[in-house]
Structure 1
């Protein structure tokens, strides 16, 4: 039996991936290259430290990478954050996880202030034992830093935890510290992409994981 469930937020518990892709596309167009929505969307799940180098040269990053991310963050909070909604059954899923005796942690590539707001939007503030963000680590997913922090703070080994995420980057990061991953399709990646990245199980979304809870990795 696992001792903890480590949840991603964007695309896993919250329907926010398209909104993040839109604001990143706007920011990149404002400060640099002409990139498509599809190009940007495939990178959502990474933090800015990993996403920006995909589209900006080293010189461009030095010149305006910091300004780009600051502009993106401010625009997301004012224009897009109010549009974020949780997927169905999110509080019920987390309650079921707690009833099964697991600790609940959040491991997100979002900034801390965004994570705090997300927990409120999803109505899970009182269900989470530990919330971590990109502010807590040097490198975001697919680097394993955020999972290392969670395991250290929960005082457990990787084999005692299960990660739940919607991107290959979640699975890749978790695997580096021996955490098994349950994938969800609601973030937009395909089942094949998630399984290739290392997801042991894949469900359509939180409601489906709740419905199949007794047979999932969270109970094995």
Structure 2
């Protein structure tokens, strides 16, 4: 069987490039407390993979918050960016720098496609030292609909000039895998223990670690028929 290389690889950010979900969860819950309501960790985890504005729209509806979802999201993300700026020694998820280097060596383009806004993506990449490595990004503010709609992945493919059917998405969330399928792309579901409660069984393949992941293993996904 001939090995087929992916035309491009699209990475989610939170929980794939950077283990930021525990940080987002803590800041979200603390900000909720400031606003006068309790958000249990289990409730927050159901929101993983959706845009911050969507998360706060749901919280506004449930808890009758007076402020607009965009304003609530902006304030929460301001707390997150303050955390990044004040932190040192933040690193990408293990295996990511090696995989990015391997993709570069094989001339396979890649992009970051996240429901976060582009300013948050840029701040995160700078904090973990990948801002000069990952130069093609698509954020939730670049498209009409965030995940689980396919818009983010479709725009990333368009930016890289690669047909959607030739793209591989690496995701750790239910909504991200659903968005990849809706975009007509292959997917690799990363079972990140810090992103619990996600349903990744509809991904073409699953893995429990990104460490040691190589282009050859990504070819294995493309060589076999999709689910």
Common fold, TM-score beyond 0.5?
A: yes
Task: Label 1:166 to 1:59 Cα distance change in 2 as closer, same or farther (>3 A).
Answer: closer
Task: Label 1:161 to 1:61 Cα distance change in 2 as closer, same or farther (>3 A).
Answer: farther
Inter-partner Cα distance in structure 1 for 2:198 and 2:55: 22
Equivalent pair of 2:172/2:190 in contact (CA under 8 Å): yes
- The CA deviation at 1:21 is 1.0
Equivalent position of 1:17 in the other structure: 21
Equivalent position of 2:168 in the other structure: 162
Inter-partner Cα distance in structure 2 for 1:67 and 1:128: 29
Alignment of 1:19-168 (within 5 A): 19-31=23-35, 33-57=37-61, 60=64, 63-79=67-83, 82=87, 84-168=90-174
SS at structure 2 position matched to 1:85: coil
Question: Size of the alignment, in residue pairs?
Answer: 216
Identify which range, 186-195 or 42-51, moves more after superposition.
186-195
Inter-partner Cα distance in structure 2 for 1:142 and 1:25: 23
Equivalent position of 1:203 in the other structure: 207
Structure 1 residues without counterparts, runs of 5 or longer: none
> Is the helix fraction higher in 1 or 2?
1
Identify which range, 163-172 or 42-51, moves more after superposition.
42-51
SS at structure 1 position matched to 2:200: helix
- The CA deviation at 1:208 is 4.0
RMSD of the TM alignment (CA)? 2.5
